[in-house]
Chains A and B, each alone.
Chain A
Amino acid sequence: MDKEKWEPKIVAFVCNWCTYTGADLAGTSRMKYPANAKMIRVMCSGSIDPVFIIKAFERGADGVLVSGCHPNDCHYNAGNFHARRRWDFFHELLDFIGIEKERLQFSWISASEGKKFADVIAKVTKDIKTLGPFTAYKKMNSEFTAVFPEIQEVVKETIIKEKETV
């Protein structure tokens, strides 16, 4: 595979109130950052199940970012505290399930931190680029997408490409 041309695929799980809005602010302020990360909006970082993250890796993500409101700033008062505890614990298990710890990153980005959002995405993209592609889970990709036949149809080409790289 051409390492020069390889672009990492990054999935970001963000909360609706802080980080998603912070990303909106980055947009409104026309800050530039790499296009690798795609965001999945949830209501609160507290609702992000570790399974989502594993699924993202199964689907071929090279890195995952999870971001919510700063502690004490949660729209739901305490959701991010639960998230924080969950991540601390889950992060320790990553090695065990065969994922380098650096592939999963966390941050707190408030609705007013557009700059921080752009910086975090740039940093995560750079970090994952340095780590290189995540291949350990690639063979599970077709199993996961098989649950969604229509999607498998759509993303067939990319899956074939990804398989070649394994």
Chain B
Amino acid sequence: MKIGVFICHCGENISRTVDCPRVARVCESYPGVEYAIDYKYMCSDPGQNMIRDAIREKGLDAIVVGSCSPHMHERTFRNAAVSAGINPFLVEIANLREHCSWVHDDVEAATQKAIELVRMAIEKVKRDKPLSKINVPVTKRVLVIGGGIAGIQAALDTANAGYEVVLVEKEPSIGGHMSQLSETFPTLDCSQCILTPRMVEVYQHPKIKLLTYSEVVKIEGFIGNFKATIKKKARHINEELCSGCGLCITKCPTKKKAYNSFEEDLAFRPAVYIPFPQAVPNIPVIDESVCMYYKNGKCGMCVKVCDRGAIDFDQKDTMLVADIGAIIVATGFKLYNIDKKAADSKYKGYGEYGYGKYRDVIDGLQFERIASASGPTAGEIKRPSDGKVPKKIVFIQCVGSRDDSKGISYCSKICCMYTAKHAMLYKHKVHDGEAYIFYMDIRAGGKMYEEFVRRAIEEDDVKYIRGRVSRIYEENGKYIVKGEDTIAGMPVEIDADLVVLATAMIPQENSAALARTIGIPYDKYGFFNEAHPKLRPVESTTAGVFLAGACQSPRDIPESVAMASAAACKATILLSSDTLEREPVVAKVNEDLCAGCFYCKKVCPFGAIEVKDVKDMNGIVYKEVAYINQGVCQGCGTCTATCLSKSIELAGFNNEEIFAEIAAL
């Protein structure tokens, strides 16, 4: 084998601490090296031409480039090699910049290390085998998980690009948290007015298959070729027959048996219900836990009044399987529940604020419902306990957020803005009321955001107090809020009628389980991890899975929508080609050696390993061996280290190559 070695100076970046000409000279004398040279910029056009010419003139079979990190220019040099007729996988990079010249000062030590690094690469390339890219077909359908604003936007954008979409929502209606909001900052647009047309568009779109009251239970396969299993929970209403007249709801005798979760438990709902009047689809759900029929087999009032015969008490959960090419995860957030410690011991709760104990200590979403024209008070600001209009209201920011002692160190990002909005809405409705906001810092980064906060302070006379609240207790129907004004340097005590806590945004409770189902990484809080925080913000590290909205980190509406459009764009880019090319770094089983223990099958994170029968001449199975599906394998190599008989090899990183690297040290 004839090997060419090319040492790059990277201007002075490498040559300042590494004696590049010496590295090239030393390498030239190594067995197998036909040609070695150093040059100022190997990645430049003349540099690449130098490589191409050398390959042609010297008849090189493989090349080693001593340059920057392979993450930077491996592709450049592989392409150069390909254009001169060398297989791209017979190119090895020795990282002389990030791992050598930039981190060492001593020229002699750095040069020695550079020589060793190049020597390792030479020994590896000698053992590299030519590989060719793997082509896999692409299913042109996108699965969107979550029907909040991010999921809606992603579904619409993808469908409008001409691809089929399956939109899965766990609640009976799409709309998510945005449908619960009264008005949105900083424009004070009515949230439902801007959202509901989009919801209807989703419902009517010929390319979108909407599955509400459904959950994704299993994802198999890989980029371009996922298979999703979706559980459609029993609604007990036949969706085909129901006309959405709502007669069953008005006639249901179990009027106040269950809390209305859409109203954040501030109101009740009957056993058969739609979450809110503008729900999409406008098809009710029967709640088995409170319905009389499921208790004693009697009642059946809804069956009597439904003239279309849509009520189906015997309906069962059904499983649907869909072939999917790309997945967009948009499962959103929930609020930190500050009184319920036991539910999730990770968070400590705020017993001192009395949430859950005092009915007039509420969270931000509850206030949204109280302020909403479609809410339980029809938009009048009334406190939950006695329906009185609160004359003094206290908002507390950063409840949960930015508080390591309570389990969350991040900033929830939207609370500064929505608290300013809440205070403003309150002042617009209760003109003689007083609004106080306890804050740590005001973080109003965003278009027209700072101006919005200023407006709350200057025009609406909202009183901002910088400091934390230590305790809230009830006294004569008032809630005494004891806090500290750190700017004035003195304690503050406010006798409030209503207290609103801006609690932290946390991921949906089953987010970690869903991440494991899909196979994407998540952080310690349960937010899904993006592939790169700056350059790949809407991609997960799993190829073909994209992220949108607050499931990735706290996001406001514009950001969620932008992310959703970006994710939809990424997904459509993926679906726009008929086949996918992927790196051939995959594992392969030597069937003669394989003993069929299938330890590899147990450790494979992708389920790429199958059982294959080996037959003799007469077609009789005489042993079982492991078989690795090349399309599913992502090339981590965990199976190779696990294999007892060493019969699995990872292409490009096999044991022989790694032993040679060790030997060359």
Where the two chains meet, the residues of A that have a C-beta atom closer than 8 Å to any C-beta of B are 9, 11, 17, 20-21, 23-28, 30-35, 38-44, 46-52, 55-56, 59-61, 72-79, 82-83, 86, 112, 118, 144-145, 147-148, 150-151, 153-155
Contacts and interface: CB of A to CB of B under 8 A. Distances in A.
A72 B102 contact: no
Contacts, number: 162
A55 B117 CA distance: 18
B400 to A, nearest CB: 22
B532 to A, nearest CB: 8
Interface in B594-652: 603, 605-606, 634-638, 640-642, 650
Contacts of B519: 77
Contacts of B523: 72
A48 B650 CA distance: 12
Contact of A43 (B70, B100, B585, B660): B585
A41 to B, nearest CB: 8
Given A43-B637, A82-B638, A145 B529 contact: no
23 contacts: A24-B95, A34-B104, A35-B106, A38-B113, A38-B116, A40-B658, A42-B658, A43-B636, A44-B636, A46-B603, A46-B636, A47-B636, A47-B638, A47-B653, A59-B665, A74-B605, A76-B606, A77-B542, A77-B605, A82-B642, A112-B533, A148-B660, A154-B31
Contact of B663 (A35, A41, A77, A151): A151
B162 interface: no
Given A33-B104, A43-B653, 7 more contacts: A20-B71, A24-B71, A38-B120, A49-B640, A76-B606, A150-B123, A151-B663
A47 B99 contact: no
B659 interface: yes
B537 interface: no
Per CB-CB distance, the 9 closest pairs between chain A and chain B, nearest first, are A47-B637, A27-B98, A46-B638, A76-B636, A44-B636, A27-B102, A78-B605, A150-B31, A35-B109
Interface residues of B, number: 61
Given A39-B99, A82-B642, A150-B31, A32 B664 contact: no
Contacts of A148: 123, 659-660, 663-664
Contact of A79 (B32, B520, B605, B665): B605
B541 A75 contact: yes
Given A49-B641, A150-B31, A55 B521 contact: no
B524 interface: yes
Contacts of B106: 35
A46 to B, nearest CB: 3
A72 B664 contact: no
Interface string B533-565: 100000001100000000000000000000000
